Amino acid sequence: MDKLLEVIGSLGVCAVLLTLVLLASASQGGADAAIVVLGSLPWAVPALIGCVIIAAFGVMLGELKAIRLASEIQSLHLRDLVKQRDRS
């Protein structure tokens, strides 16, 4: 799930940026392209921020999985140490 969120976020960012480039290239160029890009910023900026947040959640989920795995390994080692201490 973590990699899926990272990929979805990355694809979303690429799609928004590609849309902005296509809109700018479809205009007459120069000042018209700047006006088109500035006019599309009200929807592009929130979309970019949302996609970056989705990708960040994917990265965070991967980190949480690694932390959980490390804590499970630590608990197994602690259990082994306690068993060894009880035997001696």
Q: Per-residue b/e over 23-32, b at no fewer than 16 CB within 10 Å?
A: ebeeeeeeee
Q: Which of 44, 39, 49 is nearest to 18 (CA)?
A: 44
Q: Is 59 buried (19+), middle (13-18) or exposed (0-12) by CB count in 10 A?
A: middle
Q: Alpha carbon of 53 to those of 13, 32, 46: distances in Å?
A: 10, 31, 10
- pLDDT at residue 72 in the model: 97
For the chain, the domains span: 2-87
Tens place of pLDDT for every residue, the chain, 88 residues? 889 999 999 999 999 999 999 988 888 878 888 898 889 999 999 999 999 999 999 999 999 999 999 999 999 999 999 999 888 7
Output the pTM of the full model.
0.79
- pLDDT at residue 55 in the model: 95
